[in-house]
Amino acid sequence: MLIEKVEEEIKVKGQEPIKVLKDVGRPCHCLKQKSLKNRFKNALIPEEFKNARFDNYKTENETQRTLFNATKDYLKDFPNIMENKPKQNSLGFIATFGETRIRNLSGEERYKVKAEHNSFGLGKTHLQMAAAKWILNNIRIHDEIAPGQKSRFDRGCRVLCVSDIRFMGELINAKMNSDGGQTLNKLLESAIQADVLVWDDIGKVKYSETKEGLYYEIINERYRQQKPIIFSSNEDIGTLSEKIGYAASSRLEEMCGDRLYRVEGKDYRLRREAQ
C-alpha cells in the first residue's frame, strides 16, 4: 500500500477554512507485482511447461488449429465466465479413442488403432498451461460480498494446476495419514477453492473406489459452486467415466457443454522422425 499525504480543507461556518493533511492509501505497483508473483508460485505450473505459450504453439495442422482456437475462444469468454458464473464454464480436451480402450485391444488391431487415433503429444497440456498463465496475468475478480453485490475492490485470479498421477497419489497418501484428515482436507480445499482448476491428464491413475470418491468430491463441489475446470485426458468420454466414475465425468461433460473437444492427431514430439 502506498500512503500519500493529501491536503484537505475543513470548512467551519463563520471561520477561515482549516487546511489539514490526510493519509490516503492506494495499492502500489510493486505490491501488485508481488501478489502476481505469489499467485504464479501457488499455481504450481510444472517446470517443463514454464515456456509453453500461445506464441510458440504451432498451428500447422487441423488438430492444432482446433485446439488453439478452442483455447482462444474460451479465454475470450473467460471474463464473462468469472463475472456471471454460467453453468457451462469449463474447457476439456479428451481423446477420440481412450488409452484404456486401446490397451484392451489385442495385437495388430491395437497397433493400428493407436497409430490412427493417437491423442498424445497434441499440445493439450501446452495450451492449457498457456491459458493458466494468461488467466493469472489478465483476470481480476470482484468477490461477491452479499447476494447480488460485488466488492468494489478487485483481486487477482487464483489458479491451481494439478497433474493426475501426482495429485491423486498425494490425496491417497493424505487419506492414510493419521492426522485426523487434516492434510487431506487441506488438499481437497485447495482444489475446491481455487478460482480455476487446471487438471492435467485426468483419469490417468489406476482406478479404485476410493479415488472415484475423491474425484467426485472435488468435481461435484466445483460443479455446485460453478467454478471452472480446465482439463485434458487421454481417455475418451466412455473410458474416462470408467476411470473417474460416471457421476464425476457426467458433471465434467455438463460443465463443458460444447467446449468438450475430442481430439486425435500426430504426436508433436515425433515430428522430426516423420519428416
Taking the least distance from each CB to ligand ADP, the nearer of 89 and 234 is 234
- Nearest approach in angstroms of CB 195 to ligand ADP is 23
Q: Choose from Mg ion, ligand ADP, none: what does 269 bind? Cβ within 5-8 Å by kind.
A: ligand ADP
Taking the least distance from each CB to ligand ADP, the nearer of 206 and 269 is 269
Residue of 40, 54, 134, 268 interacting with ligand ADP (CB under 6 A): 268
Residue written as grid cell 503429444: 121
Which three-class secondary structure state does DSSP give residue 147? coil
Q: From the CB of residue 35, how many other CB atoms can be counted at a distance below 10 Å?
A: 13
Taking the least distance from each CB to Mg ion, the nearer of 125 and 241 is 125
Q: Choose from Mg ion, ligand ADP, none: what does 121 bind? Cβ within 5-8 Å by kind.
A: ligand ADP
Residue of 64, 119, 125, 128 interacting with Mg ion (CB under 5 A): 125
Taking the least distance from each CB to ligand ADP, the nearer of 195 and 200 is 200
Q: Does 52 bind ligand ADP (CB under 6 A)?
A: yes
Point out which residues pair with 95 in neighbouring strands: 263
Q: Of 187, 188, 194, 263, which is closest to residue 230 (Cα–Cα)?
A: 194
**Quick one: which H or E segment has residue 183?**
helix 182-193
Point out which residues pair with 161 in neighbouring strands: 198
The single-letter DSSP state of residue 258 is G
x/- mask, ligand ADP, residues 224-253, rule CB under 6 A, reads: --------x---------------------
Contacts of 183 (CB under 8 A, 6+ apart): 174, 177
